[in-house]
Structure formats: structure tokens, C-alpha cells
């Protein structure tokens, strides 16, 4: 059934006042929305670390003001001027600068560019897609990067850093289902049972992995997915096996890399950067197809909780304070 475009709808809008970021839920109309060739009734979005930075005004995530944040969204097409989408189509959007340079998912109706969209993957519902979201897509791209480097389950343990977060949680669940022996790095004791429930065989502490590494340490990891960067990534590299690989996708601990070339030239270690924002649609759709088959359904229940637009600010503050785990979904269908 084709939906009607509402006269007014709610959105979380960020504005700058006296150099500070202020967020408020406002009533908007279609005329308030940016240019684009597809108008979408947004059903769900999610709260990622980058979203939390935008909402709390941490760093320089937002490029233009005012801004509707939310780097992910799923929904139903209301109107389309694009040949490849029509009213009633279910669609998915992650990345492409949405929620940073362009208005994003924290709006009950949004207008976007069709080139940013992909059809909602077969076998994945709208809410499930946002449980997965950018975090899950990034995790799957990291797993695919390890596979491209021939890091197979029989090679040995794989470590996931920042395992209690959105990317880390999904990575642990996927790797475990694929048969890898997963070690999870977490800085919070409260996440240990949760991570073991997702399939982690061992937990290592943040304190252990933050100790400054020598150029080479004892070999421990066949591969790694790193979401935090800085001294932890340096130690992971120093501990990676000969011919091992590290997929790096985050910088929660910092953007510096205090290491040497030794792991790369003496142990043939590969450091592979992983980006989901500008990922080409062909690989993006391949990753979503893999997510539909390789992410355990039970994990989807464990790693998510659902909030309203009005609750985003508090979740964002909690996430920046390291108090959240797993994935948070925003339900835009709530009145």
C-alpha cells in the first residue's frame, strides 16, 4: 500500500548556539527537507559512535548547520524521481556523509539522493537492518578483509578490540559463527558475559593491551579487527602472527599509531584499512548479503535495544561516556 506524505513530522535537529551544539526534537514539513530525488518515510535509524559525537558536539562531525543527524536509515519510498526506485519500495541507507554533510535518519520523513540507497536486502527486515546498521556493515567488511588476506579459522585466534561496542559486538558474533576462535578485548567487566554469549572464547583487558609494545612481541593473533586504534592497535600489530592481517576501522582511542615497520617487514603482517562510508555499492551489497546469512539471529536479540527520538540525547551522552554496549535502534514510527 502506497503511503501518504504527512503534512508535518518529527525530527531531531542540531543547531549551533554560541559555539555549542544544541539538539531538539522539532516539527518539520517536506519543504524543510534538503534536495534529493527520493522522499522516504523513515521507519528506523540507529545510534553509532559518530552519531553520538555529532549529537554531543564532540569533535567536528557535523559540517553544515542546522543538521539532522543519523548516519543510517531504513524506510519506504513515498515519492521518487529516480528510475530505479518507486513509491512503496523498501530501502536502506548507510554512510555517504549522511548525518554529517547531509541530513540523516533522525527524521520521520527524509529526502535523499537515490545513489546513496540500496534495496532492503532480501531476508532482512527494516528494524533488523538498523540493528545491523553501519556498525554491522563495517564489521562484515572487516571480516571480508580478513578473508581476503586468507585468515581462515584454522590459522589461530583472532582478536576483536572494542568488542563491547557496536562494530565489535557484531564482529564477535560473525567470526564465532564462521568458526573462528575469538578473543574479545573489553575495558568493562560488565561486558564479559555478554561477549561470551556472542561467542568469544577468551576476554582480555584493556589495561593489558594498552601497555606500550616493543617493536615485536610474542605472536598471539592470526588476525584482528581493531575498532580503537592508537596504542592498542600498535600492540595488536606487534603480537600478530607471521602472514597475519589486521583490519582497522576505528579510532575511539585515538588516531595516532605508535609503532614501527617491524611487524610489516619482518612478519609480513598486513594492515588493512576498512571504510564503510564511501564503500562502493557492489561490495556494500555483497556485505549485506553475507550479513543476512552469517550474523546469528540470536545475536541480533542480544545486541540491541530500541529508543525514541526523544531518548537519543541521553543515549549519545552514555555512549560517549562508555556506558553502552551493543546496538541502539531508533524507532521513527513512534508518535
Same domain, 149 and 184: yes
Do the beta carbons of residue 46 and residue 95 sit within 8 Å? no
**Are residues 317 and 209 located together in one domain of the fold?**
no
Answer yes or no: do 152 and 265 share one domain: yes
pLDDT tens-digit map of 187-220: 888 889 999 999 999 999 999 999 999 999 999 9
Element (H, E) at 27: strand 20-28
Do 196 and 206 touch, CB atoms closer than 8 A? no
Write the DSSP symbol of residue 158.
E
Q: Quick one: which of 167, 101, 177, 106 has its CA closest to 134?
A: 167
Q: Is 13 found in the same domain as 104?
A: yes
Same domain, 85 and 202: no
Task: Round to whole Å and give the CA distance between 249 and 244.
Answer: 17
Per the structure, the complete domain to which residue 258 belongs is given by 133-273
Q: What is the mean pLDDT of residues 248-270?
A: 95
Q: Which residues of 220-234 are buried (b: 16+ CB within 10 A; e: fewer)?
A: bbbbbbbbbbbbbbb
Q: Give Rg (Cα) of the chain.
A: 20
Rounded Cα gap, residues 251 and 263, in angstroms:
20
For residue 196, being part of any structural domain is answered with yes
Number of C-beta neighbours around residue 202 at 10 A: 13
- Pairing between β-strand 90-94 and β-strand 117-119 as defined by DSSP bridges: antiparallel
Q: Which of 273, 291, 320 is the last residue of a domain?
A: 273
Per-residue confidence at 255, pLDDT binned at 50, 70, 90? very high
157 in Cβ contact with 181 (< 8 Å):
yes
Tell whether 289 is covered by a domain: no
* Residues in CB range of 93: below 8 A, 6 or more apart: 72, 73, 74, 105, 112, 116, 117, 118
Alpha helices in the chain (DSSP H): 49-56, 126-148, 166-177, 192-198, 206-209, 230-238, 262-266, 281-294, 297-302, 312-320
CB-based burial of residue 293 (10 Å sphere; 0-12 exposed, 13-18 middle, 19+ buried)? exposed
- 8 or 1, higher pLDDT: 8
- 146 with 220, same domain: the answer is yes
Q: What pLDDT band is residue 299 in, cutting at 50, 70 and 90?
A: confident
- The answer on pLDDT for 285 being more than 70 is yes
The answer as to whether 3 is a domain residue is no
- The reported pLDDT for the residue numbered 303 is 65
CB 5 within 8 A of CB 78: yes
The verdict on 175 and 258 lying in the same domain is: yes
Q: Are residues 94 and 219 in the same domain?
A: no
Kindly state the percentage of the chain with pLDDT values over 90.
86
Domain count, the chain: 2
pLDDT in tens, 128-144: 999 999 999 999 999 99
Same domain, 141 and 205: yes
pLDDT at 322: 85
What is the pLDDT confidence band of residue 101, given thresholds at 50, 70 and 90? very high
CATH code at position 268: 3.40.50.720
* Coil, helix or strand at residue 184: strand
Judgement on whether residues 40 and 151 belong to the same structural domain of the protein: no
* pLDDT: which is higher, 198 or 322: 198
What confidence score (pLDDT) does residue 304 get?
A: 73
pLDDT 10s digits, 44-88: 999 998 999 999 999 889 989 999 999 999 999 999 999 999 999
Strands 304-307 and 202-205: unpaired
The domain that holds 78 is classified in CATH as 3.90.180.10
Prior bond of 66 cis (ω within 30°): yes
Residue 286 is assigned to a structural domain of this protein: no
Residue 287 belongs to some domain of the structure: no
Query: What pLDDT does 1 receive?
Result: 60
pLDDT tens digits along 124-180: 999 999 999 999 999 999 999 999 999 999 999 999 999 988 899 999 999 999 999
Residues 137 and 269 placed together within one structural domain of the fold: yes
pLDDT band of residue 15 (cuts 50, 70, 90) is very high
Q: What is the model's pTM? A: 0.89
Mean pLDDT of 111-122: 96
State yes or no: pLDDT of 4 exceeds 90.
Answer: no
Let me know if residue 193 belongs to a domain. yes
Does 314 have pLDDT greater than 70?
A: yes
> Which residues, at least 6 apart from 112, have a Cβ–Cβ distance to it below 8 Å?
36, 38, 40, 93, 98, 102
Cβ pair 180, 158 in contact under 8 A: yes
Phi-psi region at 82: left, alpha or beta (left = phi > 0; alpha = psi -120 to 50): beta
Looking only at the bridges linking them, the beta strands covering 327-331 and 117-119 are unpaired
CA-CA distance, 305 to 315, in Å (whole number)? 11
* Residue 314 within a domain: yes
Judgement on whether residues 108 and 138 belong to the same structural domain of the protein = no
Confidence of residue 35 (pLDDT cuts 50, 70, 90): very high
Is 160 a domain residue?
yes
Amino acid at each position: 500500500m502506497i503511503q501518504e506524505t504527512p503534512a508535518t513530522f518529527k525530527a531531531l535537529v542540531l543547531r549551533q548556539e554560541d559555539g555549542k551544539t544544541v539538539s531538539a526534537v522539532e516539527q518539520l514539513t517536506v519543504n524543510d527537507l534538503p534536495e534529493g530525488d527520493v522522499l522516504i518515510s523513515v521507519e528506523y535509524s540507529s545510534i553509532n559512535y559518530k552519531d553520538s559525537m555529532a549529537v554531543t558536539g564532540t569533535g567536528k562531525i557535523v559540517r553544515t548547520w542546522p543538521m539532522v543527524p543519523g548516519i543510517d536509515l531504513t524506510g519506504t519510498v513515498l515519492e521518487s524521481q529516480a528510475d530505479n526506485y518507486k513509491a512503496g519500495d523498501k530501502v536502506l541507507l548507510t554512510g555517504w556523509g549522511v548525518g554529517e554533510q547531509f541530513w540523516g535518519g533522525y527524521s520521520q520523513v527524509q529526502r535523499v539522493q537515490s545513489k546513496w540507497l540500496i534495496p532492503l536486502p532480501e531476508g532482512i527486515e527494516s528494524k533488523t537492518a538498523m540493528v545491523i546498521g553501519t556498525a554491522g556493515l563495517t564489521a562484515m567488511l572487516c571480516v571480508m578483509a580478513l578473508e581476503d588476506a586468507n585468515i581462515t579459522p584454522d590459522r589461530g585466534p583472532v582478536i576483536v578490540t572494542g568488542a563491547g561496542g557496536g562494530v565489535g559486538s557484531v564482529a564477535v558474533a560473525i567470526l564465532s559463527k564462521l568458526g573462528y576462535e575469538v578473543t574479545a578485548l573489553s575495558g568493562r567487566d560488565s561486558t564479559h558475559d555478554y561477549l561470551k554469549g556472542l561467542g568469544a572464547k577468551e576476554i582480555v583487558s584493556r589495561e593489558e593491551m594498552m601497555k606500550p609494545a616493543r617493536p615485536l612481541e610474542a605472536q598471539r593473533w592470526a588476525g584482528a579487527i581493531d575498532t580503537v586504534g592508537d596504542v592498542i592497535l600498535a600492540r595488536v600489530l606487534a603480537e600478530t602472527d607471521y602472514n597475519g592481517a589486521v583490519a582497522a576501522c576505528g579510532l575511539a582511542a585515538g588516531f595516532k599509531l605508535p609503532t614501527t615497520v617491524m611487524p610489516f617487514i619482518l612478519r609480513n603482517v598486513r594492515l588493512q584499512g576498512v571504510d564503510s562510508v564511501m564503500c562502493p555499492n557492489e561490495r556494500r551489497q555483497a556485505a549485506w548479503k553475507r550479513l543476512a546469512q552469517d550474523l546469528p539471529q540470536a545475536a541480533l536479540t542480544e545486541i540491541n535495544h530500541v529508543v525514541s527520538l526523544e531518548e537519543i540525547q541521553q543515549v549519545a551522552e552514555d555512549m560517549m561516556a562508555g556506558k553502552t554496549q551493543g546496538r541502539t535502534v531508533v524507532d521513527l514510527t513512534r508518535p
